[in-house]
Structure 1
Amino acid sequence: TSRARMAGHISPWFVLLGFNLFCIIAATGYLMGVTQSKEYAEPEWYADIWLVIVWIVYFVLYIRTLARRNEPHIYVANWYYLAFILVVAVLHIVNNLAVPASFGAAKSYSAFSGVQDAMTQWWYGHNAVAFFLTAGFLGMLYYFLPKRAERPIYSYRLSILSFWGITFFYIWAGSHHLHYTAVPEWVQTLGMTFSVMLLVPSWASAGNALMTLNGAWHKVRDDATLRFMMVAAVFYGLSTFEGSFMAIRPVNSLSHYTDWTVGHVHAGAMGWVALITFGSIYALVPVLWRKQTMYSWKLVEWHFWLALGGTVVYVFAMWNSGITQGLMWRTYTESGTLAYSFTDTLVKMHPYYIARAIGGAMFFVGAVIGAFNVVMTIRSVGHQAQQLDYPTGSEANEPAVPAAE
């Protein structure tokens, strides 16, 4: 997107190998029980410091590459990736502020405690969703969907307004996870208000993506890769609406701690994050390995329907399970005692958990098929392109068309 090589020869390898080393350090620490005992089981201080070093090199590498670009237009996708890199660094540093017990021991003590720690945790947790699981993947959406559809972004101005709206509003929304707790009520209300306001820039991005497909819906019908991206945009709009709705205090009193939250999270994780990732992989793999097309477009179709079907089954099961849980937990007898025991609610969950397992299995099988297709595409020799109406081969190397107003 910059028409330039990445800056530096050593730093890209340092980021790649350094981040994977962090993953190994963190994973082995979990197995040994070496964590900060926070909400997200953060790795200890030595792993945190190493990740900060790697991430700062990543940020500098990205800025240097943008600075040496030969493409005068900075794509919207690059704005989102910049926000992803920068804000995740800020979140990680603040949330993991800690004092080591000694430099010869893994143990450390958090800089926050009590309500302050809860506030910091959910400021971090919700913005990890915002800038790790939203901004980076919106970057994929804003590049790969117009590229695959061979259509300019419907509105460049709308995409920039949406970017700044998401970047500003998301930062304030984390306290909606702390309704009915010791957090001051005005803080809860602030989080709820910004969560509702967040619907506007979020739907602007989803709508911008779908409007980009005007004049290209026949490609959506014929091209499963583009269909992955289109359905991802739909799930993004659905998940952001649901998130804003669930942040409203009376709704949250029913949904919190139930499987409704699990359904909401997986509508975003499977329906939005995973589907746009699958679509981006299918668009990119033939280009990276100089193939004319994927090994099998039938397998791409199979993957699409298994992923979509698995997501729908999973999410609907958790929605039903969660609402049933919430209603049973707040049902009282005439004497003011709970009408249902924990075991009663668990029995009611059983059919929904079976459905959840089926949906998850469908999704997993689709992912395995996708991985097989990617491996076979890479290994294939002299694989010829099918006669398709969407860009393949060298055409896909060209940058996306700058937006038209």
Structure 2
Amino acid sequence: GMASFTFWGWMAIIILADISYVLGYTQSREYAEMEWPIDLLIEVVWVTYLILFVGTIMRRKQPHIYVANWFYLAFILATALLHTFNNLAMPIDLFSMKSYSLFAGTQDAMTQWWYGHNAVGFFLTAAFLGMMYYFVPKQAGRPIYSYRLSIIHFWALGFMYMWVGAHHLHWTALPDWTSSLAAAFSILLLMPSWGGMINGIMTLSGAWDKLRTDPVMRFMIVALSFYGMSTFEGPMMSLKEVNALSHYTDWTVGHVHSGALGWVAMISFGSLYHMIPKLWDTKMYSQKLVEWHFWLATIGIVLYIVAMWISGITQGLMWRSFDEFGNLQYSFAESVAAMMPFYAMRAIGGMFFLTGAVLMLFNSLMTIRQAKRENVVLEAKLAAKLARA
């Protein structure tokens, strides 16, 4: 049905996008590299996803819609809106992969970063906040700390996020008032973001011992901590004085990965570890492997982002250093050479993180295999019991 189409359609999009990049077909737009035929497929799959989600909600028996579903609906609707307008393009002809954007120059840059930042805001934030608001209370065995705060979190994010994209374009041809307005909204975003982080962490009130005994809960709380850290760092980097140093450097890479690996991946790992035993009605194959995964992922992320912070700040300082004659003190090649130890540190962090993910894959597959064996044994026992009867 529609659910299968959505799943296989999304898998096809990923494969086609990868093939198109290898063949050199790209719009050269960050987070929107796919050319127009793949964009149209995304549109079809995404609308199907929206129909599935709304249709499921409409069939509910519980009149109240829990806040996690509001975050998911916002994520689906906002991503559809952003994808549609940012990818308005004219193909050279119907049999060509190449197309040109309907926007040009400063307008094109503004549209791209309205999309780019809000893809992060809704695809990589709102969706995973929906996961957080469902799975953290479930794993903690307690209701969300403040439901009222979760509602404020939702509406504040929905209103403020759409305004902040222009902070990616400080010190460019964009009108100054536009990027200043984006910076102001970026700073305002700190309040609801930290409200959501505190709401998630405080859900453990009275059950803090779970952090000592439950590695799945640790994944979720560390994810919330990274969410808080990256949502503090983002507004800080939107300030023009800070941005003058950080822009075009590895600091931005560190910031993005503290969100993508620290927040998005860790909350996903925690949610999957919560779901897999319930879906297959068994226990995880190895709790020790869950522990190992947690520490490998956490140490890996910290190594990665610390390396990028140091290299990014070093890059910014080297690029703006002048000698007594007003010439650049360092060549670009010298700045690249200075980054090598930090890139090695990042590679080690990335290997730690990847190793943890491989352990999770092995643990999950063994859990599913274990569940199938348990079902076979159960069926055999039931058959023997019926035979004796």
Q: Would the TM-score normalized by the shorter structure come out above 0.5?
A: yes
For 1:340, which of 330, 352, 358 is the aligned residue?
A: 330
Query: What CA distance in whole angstroms lies between the structure 2 residues aligned with 1:108 and 1:352?
Result: 38
**What secondary structure does 1:137 align onto?**
helix
1:392 aligns with none
Identity of aligned residues (%): 58
Query: What CA distance in whole angstroms lies between the structure 2 residues aligned with 1:305 and 1:57?
Result: 38
For 1:250, which of 237, 241, 244 is the aligned residue?
A: 241
1:265 aligns with 256
1:229 has 2:224 as partner? no
For 1:209, which of 187, 200, 203 is the aligned residue?
A: 200
Which amino acid counterpart does residue 365 of structure 1 have in structure 2?
T
TM-score, scaled relative to structure 2: 0.94
Q: Contact 1:55–1:89 at 8 Å: present in 2 too?
A: yes
Task: Give 1:48 shift.
Answer: 1.1
Query: What CA distance in whole angstroms lies between the structure 2 residues aligned with 1:35 and 1:359?
Result: 30
RMSD of the alignment, in Å?
1.3
**What secondary structure does 2:143 align onto?**
coil
Query: What CA distance in whole angstroms lies between the structure 2 residues aligned with 1:107 and 1:269?
Result: 30
Structure of higher RCO (CA pairs closer than 8 Å, 6+ residues apart): 1
**What secondary structure does 1:344 align onto?**
helix
1:399 aligns with none
Q: Show structure 1 runs of 5+ residues with no match.
A: 1-9, 385-405
**What secondary structure does 1:154 align onto?**
coil
Task: Give 1:212 shift.
Answer: 0.7
Task: Give 1:42 shift.
Answer: 2.2
2:286 aligns with 296
Query: What CA distance in whole angstroms lies between the structure 1 residues aligned with 2:177 and 2:191?
Result: 22
**What secondary structure does 1:380 align onto?**
helix
1:134 aligns with 125
1:355 has 2:355 as partner? no
Query: What CA distance in whole angstroms lies between the structure 2 residues aligned with 1:346 and 1:105?
Result: 38
Query: What CA distance in whole angstroms lies between the structure 2 residues aligned with 1:346 and 1:196?
Result: 32
1:107 aligns with 98
Which amino acid counterpart does residue 196 of structure 2 have in structure 1?
S
- Segments of 4+ in structure 1 off by > 3 A? 381-384
Query: What CA distance in whole angstroms lies between the structure 1 residues aligned with 2:296 and 2:156?
Result: 34
1:371 has 2:378 as partner? no
Task: Give 1:39 shift.
Answer: 3.4
TM-score, scaled relative to structure 1: 0.90
The farther-off stretch of 346-355 and 257-266 is 346-355
- In the superposition, relative to structure 1, how do residues 345 and 179 fare at CA in structure 2: closer, same or farther (>3 Å)? same
Query: What CA distance in whole angstroms lies between the structure 1 residues aligned with 2:226 and 2:278?
Result: 27
2:299 aligns with 309
Query: What CA distance in whole angstroms lies between the structure 1 residues aligned with 2:30 and 2:356?
Result: 31
What's the CA shift string for 1:130-181, capped at 9, x where partnerless?
0110011101110000000011111111001011111111100000000000
Task: Give 1:381 shift.
Answer: 4.2
**What secondary structure does 2:100 align onto?**
strand
Query: What CA distance in whole angstroms lies between the structure 1 residues aligned with 2:33 and 2:258?
Result: 25
Q: Contact 1:76–1:139 at 8 Å: present in 2 too?
A: yes
Query: What CA distance in whole angstroms lies between the structure 1 residues aligned with 2:31 and 2:289?
Result: 36
Which amino acid counterpart does residue 78 of structure 2 have in structure 1?
V
Aligned residue pair count:
374
2:171 aligns with 180
Which amino acid counterpart does residue 151 of structure 2 have in structure 1?
I
Task: Give 1:341 shift.
Answer: 1.4
Which amino acid counterpart does residue 161 of structure 1 have in structure 2?
I
1:125 has 2:116 as partner? yes
Q: Contact 2:114–2:165 at 8 Å: present in 1 too?
A: yes
Task: Give 1:102 shift.
Answer: 1.9
Which amino acid counterpart does residue 137 of structure 1 have in structure 2?
F
**What secondary structure does 2:163 align onto?**
coil
Query: What CA distance in whole angstroms lies between the structure 1 residues aligned with 2:335 and 2:136?
Result: 43
**What secondary structure does 1:39 align onto?**
coil
Task: Give 1:383 shift.
Answer: 7.8
Which amino acid counterpart does residue 272 of structure 2 have in structure 1?
I
**What secondary structure does 1:198 align onto?**
helix
Q: Contact 1:295–1:383 at 8 Å: present in 2 too?
A: no
Query: What CA distance in whole angstroms lies between the structure 2 residues aligned with 1:205 and 1:383?
Result: 41
Q: Show structure 2 runs of 5+ residues with no match.
A: 375-389
